[in-house]
Amino acid sequence: MFQLHAFVVPETGKEHVMLTLGDLDNGEPVLARVHSECLTGDGLFSQRCDCGAQLETALEMIAAEGRGALLYLRQEGRGIGLLNKIRAYNLQDQGADTVEANEQLGFPADLRRYDLCKPMLDHFGIERLRLMTNNPRKVDALRELGIDVTERIPLQVNRNRYNEGYLRTKAIKLGHLFKGYLVEEE
C-alpha cells in the first residue's frame, strides 16, 4: 500500500506529491522516480510520449521491490504549463520537434527544476537514490543538490510509431539515454 504525501512550495503555492512504500530511512539507497506531471500521458494515455508508461512502470517496479518513492512534480510540459504544451503539440503537428516547438513559443527546451526534491526527500530521511530515469541531466541536477544517486536505472518503455520522433529528439537534443539512438546502453 503506497502512502501519498502532499508538499506545497511556500513562495508559489504550487503543490507536489510523493508516493512512498516501505522503510525508506534505513540508510540503503531508495528505488525512486522523479516524474514531472504530464496530463496527456499520465491521465489521458497519450501515445505521443512515454510519460504515462514510465509512471506506471516505475510504480510497478517500486511495488515489486516493496520499497521506494515516486516524486510527482507539478511542472507540466517540461515546465511550460499545460496550455503552452498544447500549443507546442500544435507546432509539432506542423513539423516542429518537441524542442523546436518550445523554442518557437519563446521557452527553453526544458524549464523543469529539481531543487524541490531535496526537501521532499529530506522529510523522509532519504539521502541515497537508485534513480529510474533516462535523463542524465536529472541525475546531475539531483547530485548538485547533494543527493547521492548511486545508480541510474533505465526506464525505456512504450516506444511506438507515435512517439518515435519525440524519443529521438529527446536523445539527440536533450541527451536522454535510449537504446537504439545516439548512445547504446550496455
Q: Look up 110 and say whether it is catalytic.
A: yes
Whole-number CA gyration radius for the chain = 16
77 is in an annotated binding site: yes
184 is in an annotated binding site: no
Q: How many residues make up the chain in this entry?
A: 186
Is 71 exposed, middle or buried (CB count within 10 Å of its CB: 0-12, 13-18, 19+)? buried
33 is in an annotated binding site: yes
128 is in an annotated binding site: no
The catalytic residue among 87, 112, 122, 143 is 112
117 is in an annotated binding site: no
CA–CA dist 177, 122 (Å, integer): 28
The catalytic residue among 67, 110, 122, 161 is 110
**Which ranges of 69-131 does DSSP label H, i.e. alpha helix?**
82-93, 98-104, 117-123
Q: Taking the CB of residue 185, how many other CB atoms lie within 10 A of it?
A: 12
12 is in an annotated binding site: no
Number of H helices, E strands in the chain: 6, 6
99 is in an annotated binding site: no
68 is in an annotated binding site: no
Give CA separation, 23 vs 44, 93, 123, 129, 186, in Å. 32, 45, 13, 14, 31
Q: Look up 130 and say whether it is catalytic.
A: no
49 is in an annotated binding site: yes
Question: Cβ contacts of residue 123 below 8 Å, gap of 6+?
Answer: 5, 7
48 is in an annotated binding site: no
Binding residues are 33-38, 49, 51, 54, 76-78, 98, 133, 138
Binding residues for Zn(2+) are 38, 49, 51
Binding residues for GTP are 33-37, 54, 76-78, 98, 133, 138
Catalytic (active-site) positions: 110, 112
